[in-house]
Amino acid sequence: MNGFPWAAFAHGLGFAAAVALAVMLVTFAVALRAGVHRVVDVAWGIGFTAVALVSYALSAGHGDDGRRLLVTVLTAVWGLRLAVYIALRGRGHGEDPRYEAMLARAGGNRHLYALRIVYLLQGALVWLVSLPVQAAQYIPGPVTAIGRLGCAVWLAGVFFEAVGDWQLARFKSDPANRGRIMDRGLWSWTRHPNYFGDFCVWWGLFLIVCDDWAVTAATVVSPLVMSWLLIRGSGKPLLERQLGRRPGFAEYAARTSGFFPRPPKKA
């Protein structure tokens, strides 16, 4: 596919970076007022949604209108659902233990340390991971078969993420399950259905830009970075270090896939 407007795309990259930074700075101000930095998790989905909307507005007159609208809606549906879920989950709770542990390592001002290590880093990641969303806005020509495959992968990801979150919320709402390991439903097929869902969402969005080989090469870093974060970075390893202290986790881990879904092993 020829005719990709690289100059317009590069111009939009700067605006997307500014929007991602603005979302994180506003969130930092909210966190200071609330006294907890866990609100940054809510800004993760909002940041992607804001970048998608700004990229959609800036790309008017360049890309295919159907593709532009499609990728914007898919990103916003994923991002806003995640933001609302995390906001409701954290309502009435204190600081997240992950951030407590991180801030305990701060040598000087805890808030400035959080600004640098959490907010600015997450803003940069929002910009980097959203490159396929930004690039899709400028691709001429309608979505082809590989893009439709991407939509199917995205849908599977949202299913795993949303259903996994719902099942976990129901499990935690029962006081009898306090301190127990969730091992039912999708959680019996993978220890992290929500992280696997994120994985599928971002590879699905990436497939929507794969009609153009040059854009594919320029943006493949995004799903690769997200995959590393989920599987090797701040996702699965960090959470399992916390869960590993609970009774029964070792047995659960022995019979349940660590990431990609499969039927549970026999006891």
Ordered per-residue pLDDT tens for the chain, 267 residues: 468 999 999 999 999 999 999 999 999 999 999 888 889 999 999 999 999 999 999 999 999 999 999 999 999 999 999 999 999 988 878 887 778 877 777 777 888 888 998 999 999 999 999 999 999 999 998 999 999 999 999 999 999 999 999 999 999 999 999 889 999 999 999 999 999 999 999 999 999 999 889 999 999 999 999 999 999 988 898 889 888 888 889 999 999 999 999 999 886
Q: Which tokens sit at 207?
A: 């497939």
The type of residue at 219 is T
Measured distance CA(198)–CA(122) in Å, rounded = 16
Q: How many residues does the chain have?
A: 267
Instruction: Classify residue 75 by burial, with Cβ atoms within 10 Å: 0-12, 13-18, 19+.
Output: buried
How high is the pLDDT of residue 2?
61
* H or E segment to which residue 97 belongs: helix 97-104
What is the separation, in whole angstroms, between the first and last Cα of the chain? Answer: 52
**Predicted confidence (pLDDT) per residue in 185-239, tens digit:** 999 999 999 999 999 999 999 999 998 899 999 999 999 999 999 999 888 988 8
How high is the pLDDT of residue 108?
73
The C-alpha angle 225, 229, 232, rounded to 5 degrees, equals 115
How high is the pLDDT of residue 267?
65
How far does Cα 90 stand from its chain's mean position?
A: 17
Domain boundaries, the chain: 6-255
Give how far Cα 167 sits from Cα of 151, 170, 194, 212, Å.
24, 5, 11, 39
